[in-house]
């Protein structure tokens, strides 16, 4: 059974300028490339759809073309209690800031890929809003896409957050620019597959405790990306680990809970999103604090069958 724009989602029950490493982690083998018929064409198609949208957003107000790119039940992950669903809700959320209607946007897709069946995909990179007077609000974005039956790529889930002013990476490090292995599990029940991803997400959250560095390294794909407080992404487990080299916050790292997500029908790509809360020290009871927003994680199945995040 396929979860269609589930969004028919299964609903159960983060959102230092660091230079990208120029050498691959030892565990990453750039020679392991899966040959999947049609996947290269679908990757190119997704990138072209992203670039066409970026051109429209840069040439006039960005709210209209951006919101129109959402699937009918696409999720705009926002800090509020409920994420916006669909084009109209995404537009309404953006229009809460009245300047957005007169602003342009600079959308730069740094990385993109698609699932083994060529129907799901992701992009991530930079999303800077340029205000009418020329001032810029630097941001980063993660987007999960699905190709509809008419052949159009639409945004199934999207999150944007601020990043620090500063330089951006214009291209990926050469060691992760190569295609990756795709581990297709066609024929598996989509609900069971999504449950696997959500269970992995919960295990990721549970493992944070007082050792953020170990958690974010162990659940990362070898070619994963993360930005934490700087203007550029860190790539690979070691570079991501360096982002969390300092002491843990009082009470430990954040806690998050997957509420919404989906998995490609080929069972090798998916995402989850949900609320994040801060831990706080307490004597007895559950050490949780106020809601800190939403997280949005894109996951890929590894050759060994385990799920690891691509971007978080």
**DSSP codes joined into one string, 112-177:** EEE-TTSSEEEEEEEEEEE-TTS-EE-EEEEEEEEE-TTS-EEEEEEEEEE--SS---SS--GGGS
44 in helix, strand or coil?
Answer: helix
Element (H, E) at 66: helix 63-68
Q: Tens-digit pLDDT profile for the chain (312 aa)?
A: 333 333 334 333 333 333 333 344 333 333 233 444 589 999 999 999 999 999 999 999 999 999 999 999 999 998 776 667 899 999 999 999 999 999 999 999 999 999 999 999 999 999 999 999 999 999 999 999 999 999 999 999 999 999 999 999 888 998 886 667 888 887 788 899 999 999 999 999 999 877 889 999 999 999 999 998 899 999 999 999 999 987 777 667 788 999 999 999 999 999 999 998 877 665 554 555 556 789 999 999 999 999 999 999
Domains and CATH numbers, the chain: 39-311 (3.10.450.50)
Please give the Cα distance from 117 to 58 (Å, whole number).
31
* Distance in angstroms (rounded) separating the CA atoms of residues 234 and 223: 10
Predicted confidence at residue 13, as pLDDT, reads 32
- Spatial separation of the C-alpha atoms in residues 194 and 191, rounded to whole Å: 5
Residue 92 neighbours by CB distance under 10 Å? 14
The pTM of this model reads: 0.86
Cα distance between residue 80 and residue 285, in whole Å: 26
Alpha carbon of 15 to those of 267, 275, 295: distances in Å? 25, 9, 4
Whole-number Å distance between alpha carbons of 223 and 312: 12
φ/ψ of 26, rounded to 5, equals -60, -30
Instruction: Report helix, strand or coil for 190.
Output: helix
pLDDT at residue 286, rounded to an integer: 55
Per-residue model confidence (pLDDT) at position 282: 59
pLDDT at 2: 31
Question: Which positions ≥6 away from 253 have C-beta within 8 Å?
Answer: 208, 209, 210, 211, 212, 215, 279
Q: Helix, strand, or coil here: 311?
A: strand
Rounded-to-integer distance, Cα 95 and Cα 101, Å: 7
């Amino acid at each position: 059974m396929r979860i269609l724009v589930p969004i028919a989602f299964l609903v159960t029950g983060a959102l230092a300028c660091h230079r990208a490493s120029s050498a691959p982690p030892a565990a990453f083998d750039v020679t392991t490339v899966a040959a999947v018929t049609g996947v290269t064409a679908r990757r190119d198609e997704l990138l072209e759809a992203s670039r066409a949208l970026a051109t429209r957003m840069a040439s006039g107000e960005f709210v209209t073309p951006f919101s129109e790119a959402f699937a009918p039940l696409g999720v705009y992950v926002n800090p509020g209690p409920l994420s916006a669903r669909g084009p109209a809700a995404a537009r309404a959320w953006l229009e809460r800031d009245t300047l957005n209607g007169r602003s342009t946007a600079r959308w730069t897709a740094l990385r993109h890929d698609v699932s083994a069946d060529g129907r799901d995909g992701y992009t991530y990179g930079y999303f800077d809003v340029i205000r009418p007077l020329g001032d810029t609000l630097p941001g980063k974005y993660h987007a999960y896409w699905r190709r509809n039956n008419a052949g159009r790529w639409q945004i199934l889930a999207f999150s944007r957050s601020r990043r620090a002013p500063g330089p951006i990476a214009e291209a990926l490090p050469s060691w992760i620019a190569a295609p990756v292995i795709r581990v297709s599990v066609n024929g598996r029940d989509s609900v069971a597959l999504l449950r696997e991803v959500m269970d992995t997400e919960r295990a990721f959250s549970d493992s944070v405790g007082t050792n953020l560095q170990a958690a974010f390294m162990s659940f990362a794909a070898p070619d994963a990306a993360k930005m934490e407080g700087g203007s550029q992404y860190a790539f690979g487990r070691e570079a991501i680990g360096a982002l969390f080299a300092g002491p843990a916050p009082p009470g430990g790292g954040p806690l998050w809970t997957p509420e919404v997500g989906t998995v490609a029908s080929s069972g090798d790509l998916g995402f989850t999103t949900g609320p994040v809360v801060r831990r706080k020290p307490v004597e007895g009871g559950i050490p949780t604090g106020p809601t800190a927003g939403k997280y949005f994680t894109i996951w890929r199945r590894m050759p060994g069958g385990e799920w690891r995040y691509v971007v978080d």
